[in-house]
């Protein structure tokens, strides 16, 4: 098949033939959860962690999502049908289709959709140069630890960043940074890393955890602490982490130069280590 193959509710179909009901609650209410895992050279990275987080997100919204092992097998089959390679594996579980009503029937079967698009890694030059970020007020709900498909705030935040020539928008809640619109944020102070603690206001990023592990492994102290906007602006380094963003150095925040205005040593070192890990 030349067209990408996608997975819809138990079936593998060509993308142009895929369909879901307009009564799906994902479409009607944004009632669903999702994951994005990166596949490097045919090898899904941290697949178990992504599936476990999907299960946690589903539980948090009272969705009865069963059969994670068979979901994993289906994901591998999808990757096989699309020729493996470097891919962004998207897994979405919505609560299912039923006549529109806020309350959900208890016996509704979730609908799972998966795609395995070819990954488009950021050009190495971008990472060598570093990116700009803006800050904006965190106007999201209080359950940001759920990887919900309702992403309107994040969509508007990222678009605002792009419209202002920046790569990412960093949310600020009550004067302290929470996370980026699709990334977690770290600062470097001296030789130490600082990143906000896991609260209900941030997603427990899988890349965040991986980077903390890498840093600890090479003797870099890591503190999970609240970081004010002022502290962010005077950090020696700032970088973003995320499944598709990997480790991305930030060189300006709201137009203020971070450190010497070039990607920092620590961010680049962690990026290298991260790439070593993902490529096995």
Annotated active-site positions, please?
147
| Residue 264 within binding range of ligand PLP, rule CB under 6 A | no
Instruction: Considering the complex, state which of residue 154 and residue 266 has its C-beta at the smaller distance from ligand PLP.
Output: 154
Binding span for ligand PLP by CB under 6 A among 65-73, 77-85, 204-212, 257-265 = 204-212
Paired sense of beta strands 246-253 and 256-257, if any: antiparallel
Task: Supply the DSSP string of 200-262, one letter for each residue.
Answer: TTS---HHHHHHHHHHHHTT--EEE---BHHHHHT-SEEEEEETTTEEEEEEEETTEEPTTSS
Residue 21 tokens, joined: 């009901």
Residue linked to tokens 């009550």: 174
From 92, 183, 195, 273, residue interacting with ligand PLP (rule: CB under 6 A): 183
From 94, 148, 195, 241, residue interacting with ligand PLP (rule: CB under 6 A): 241
Residues 141-180, one symbol each (x = binds ligand PLP by CB under 6 A, - = not), give -------------x------------------------x-
| Residue 140 within binding range of ligand PLP, rule CB under 6 A | no
Q: Is residue 231 a contact partner of residue 190, using CB atoms and an 8 Å limit?
A: no
| Residue 195 within binding range of ligand PLP, rule CB under 6 A | no
Q: Distances in Å between the alpha carbon of 169 and those of 78, 155, 158, 164, 177? A: 33, 10, 6, 10, 11
DSSP structural state of residue 15? G
From 82, 135, 148, 184, residue interacting with ligand PLP (rule: CB under 6 A): 184
| Residue 243 within binding range of ligand PLP, rule CB under 6 A | yes
How far is Cα 112 from Cα 115, in angstroms, rounded to an integer?
A: 10
| Residue 44 within binding range of ligand PLP, rule CB under 6 A | no
Instruction: Considering the complex, state which of residue 97 and residue 140 has its C-beta at the smaller distance from ligand PLP.
Output: 140
Q: Distances in Å between the alpha carbon of 184 and those of 20, 164, 174, 215? A: 32, 20, 17, 15
| Residue 4 within binding range of ligand PLP, rule CB under 6 A | no
| Residue 208 within binding range of ligand PLP, rule CB under 6 A | yes
- Contacts with ligand PLP by CB under 6 A lie at 36, 154, 179, 182-184, 203, 205-208, 241-243
């Amino acid at each position: 098949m030349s067209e990408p193959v996608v997975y819809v509710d138990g079936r593998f179909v060509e993308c142009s033939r895929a369909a879901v009901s307009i009564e799906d609650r994902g479409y009607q209410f944004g009632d669903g959860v999702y994951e994005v895992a990166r596949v490097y050279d045919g090898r899904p990275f941290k697949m178990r962690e992504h599936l476990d987080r999907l299960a946690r997100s589903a539980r948090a919204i009272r969705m009865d999502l069963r059969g994670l092992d068979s979901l994993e097998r289906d994901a591998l089959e999808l990757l096989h049908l699309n020729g493996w390679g470097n891919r962004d594996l998207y897994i979405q579980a919505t609560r299912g289709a039923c006549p529109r009503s806020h309350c959900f029937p208890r016996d509704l079967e979730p609908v799972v959709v998966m795609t395995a698009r070819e990954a488009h890694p950021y050009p190495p030059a971008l990472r060598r140069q570093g990116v700009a970020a803006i800050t904006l007020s965190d106007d999201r709900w209080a359950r940001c630890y759920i990887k919900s498909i309702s992403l309107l705030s994040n969509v508007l935040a990222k678009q605002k960043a792009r419209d202002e020539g920046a790569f990412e928008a960093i949310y600020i809640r009550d004067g302290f940074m929470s996370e980026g619109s699709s990334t977690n944020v770290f600062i470097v102070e001296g030789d130490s890393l600082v990143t906000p603690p896991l609260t209900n206001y941030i997603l427990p990023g899988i890349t965040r955890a991986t980077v903390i592990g890498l840093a600890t492994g090479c003797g870099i102290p890591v503190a999970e602490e609240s970081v004010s906007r002022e502290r962010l602006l005077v950090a020696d380094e700032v970088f973003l982490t995320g499944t598709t963003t990997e480790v991305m150095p930030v060189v300006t925040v709201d137009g203020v130069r971070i450190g010497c205005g070039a990607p920092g040593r620590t961010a680049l070192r962690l990026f290298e280590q991260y790439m070593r890990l993902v490529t096995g």
